[in-house]
């Protein structure tokens, strides 16, 4: 399997109030085509910074990031980015928000509407096409946020704690829907989360980062067959073994970050 993304000895330094803050320190990792990778680590370890570097929103201090063997030096339109906040435009309806990327690209209205309605149907939002964001629940808005990215078919999708603000019941429903979307599209996904259960349930591989400055401490394959039942997955022995192995590596980093 060919690597779609390669992060090679990447460091990122910020300057604030006359001080230098090293957010990432010589971080290296690869992501394969169609792989679902989750990243966990303590607060402040540079997880979101890493995604901003990958998509080209921030310059790298040292090292390099390659996408299909090409260095990333600016915003890459082949990479989609789903943030924690849905950022839906309040003056546009659900369907208008979902189709906006195709509208910007000049896709004919009937075609983009057909694509948007198909994705809306797949995530269970049929009947809400003409509702505005303030008329939708948090879970509905986040589903719209995800399919708004999927509609323009990026090769790599970055997801920065997209389910973080949601209640536990809504989170697990959206995890299930995300896995179903992923299994049908096989898009490459890098997914950041603070929830180790979520990280294991979704991923082919979990990457553990150290406390700041972040670097890769440990990587584990998830030996749980697909398709997965996220509602019952925590009951399997493979899940428990993987959780214990990852928590053993993650716990000291979390404790160090809190000191």
**Residue 25 tokens, joined:** 């320190």
Residue ending a domain, choose from 120, 153, 186: 153
Q: What is the number of structural domains in the chain?
A: 2
Clarify whether residues 205 and 246 are in a common domain: yes
Question: Running DSSP on this structure, what letter comes out for residue 235?
Answer: G
User: Per-residue pLDDT tens for 69-122?
Assistant: 999 988 888 999 998 888 899 999 999 999 999 999 999 999 999 999 999 999
> How high is the pLDDT of residue 2?
61
Clarify whether residues 148 and 160 are in a common domain: no
Would you place residue 256 in the very low, low, confident or very high pLDDT band (cuts 50, 70, 90)? confident
More confident residue, 256 or 114: 114
Clarify whether residues 148 and 171 are in a common domain: no
User: Per-residue pLDDT tens for 22-72?
Assistant: 999 999 999 999 999 999 999 989 999 999 999 999 999 999 999 999 999
Clarify whether residues 47 and 67 are in a common domain: yes
Length of the chain: 259
| Least confident residue range of 33-42, 45-54, 162-171, 212-221 | 162-171
Would you place residue 3 in the very low, low, confident or very high pLDDT band (cuts 50, 70, 90)? confident
Clarify whether residues 54 and 72 are in a common domain: yes
> How high is the pLDDT of residue 187?
92
**Residue 208 tokens, joined:** 């553990």
Tell me the C-alpha to C-alpha distance, in Å, between residue 220 and each of 8, 177, 186, 241. Answer: 19, 24, 20, 11
User: Per-residue pLDDT tens for 151-160?
Assistant: 999 999 999 9
How high does pLDDT run on average in the chain?
93
Clarify whether residues 175 and 251 are in a common domain: yes
Clarify whether residues 116 and 213 are in a common domain: no
> How high is the pLDDT of residue 1?
53
Distance CA(230)–CA(221), nearest Å, equals 17
Clarify whether residues 71 and 182 are in a common domain: yes
Residue ending a domain, choose from 100, 123, 153: 153
Q: Is the pLDDT of residue 11 over 70?
A: yes
> How high is the pLDDT of residue 259?
59
> How high is the pLDDT of residue 206?
98
> How high is the pLDDT of residue 164?
84
Identify whether the C-beta of residue 246 lies closer than 8 Å to the C-beta of residue 40: yes
Q: Which domain holds residue 94?
A: 85-153
Residues 159-176 as b or e (16 or more Cβ within 10 Å = b): bbbbbeebeeebbbbbbb
Clarify whether residues 108 and 91 are in a common domain: yes
Distance CA(190)–CA(199), nearest Å, equals 11
Residues 32-42 as b or e (16 or more Cβ within 10 Å = b): eeebbbbbbbb
> How high is the pLDDT of residue 85?
86
Half-sphere CA count of 95, side-chain side, radius 13 A: 17
Clarify whether residues 145 and 182 are in a common domain: no
Residue 179: enclosing H or E segment and its boundaries? helix 168-185
> How high is the pLDDT of residue 98?
95
Section 219-234 average pLDDT: 94
Angle at 142 between CA 141 and CA 148, to 5 degrees: 90
Clarify whether residues 97 and 203 are in a common domain: no
- Its pTM stands at 0.94
Beta bridge partners of 37: 190, 205
> How high is the pLDDT of residue 86?
85
């Amino acid at each position: 399997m060919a690597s779609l993304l390669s992060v090679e000895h990447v460091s990122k330094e910020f300057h604030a109030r006359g001080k230098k803050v090293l957010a990432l320190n010589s971080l290296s990792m690869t992501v394969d085509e169609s792989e679902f990778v989750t990243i966990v680590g303590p607060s402040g370890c540079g997880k979101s910074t890493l995604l901003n570097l990958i998509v080209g929103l921030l310059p790298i201090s040292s090292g390099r990031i390659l996408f299909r063997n090409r260095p990333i030096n600016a915003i890459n339109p082949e990479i989609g980015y789903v943030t924690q906040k849905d950022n839906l435009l309040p003056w546009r309806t659900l369907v208008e928000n979902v189709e906006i990327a195709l509208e910007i690209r000049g896709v004919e209205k009937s075609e983009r509407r057909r694509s948007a309605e198909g994705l809306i149907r797949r995530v269970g939002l049929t009947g809400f096409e003409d509702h505005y964001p303030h008329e939708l629940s948090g879970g509905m808005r986040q589903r719209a946020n995800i399919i708004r990215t999927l509609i323009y078919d990026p090769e790599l999708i970055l997801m920065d704690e997209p389910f973080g603000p949601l209640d536990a019941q809504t989170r697990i429903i959206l995890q299930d829907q995300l896995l179903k979307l992923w299994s049908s599209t096989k898009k490459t996904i890098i997914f950041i989360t603070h929830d180790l259960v979520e990280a294991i349930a979704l991923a082919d591989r979990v990457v553990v980062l150290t406390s700041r400055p972040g670097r890769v401490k440990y990587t584990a394959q998830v030996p749980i067959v697909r398709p997965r039942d996220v509602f019952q997955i925590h009951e399997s022995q493979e899940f428990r073994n993987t959780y214990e192995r990852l928590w053993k590596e993650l716990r000291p980093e979390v404790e160090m970050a809190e000191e």
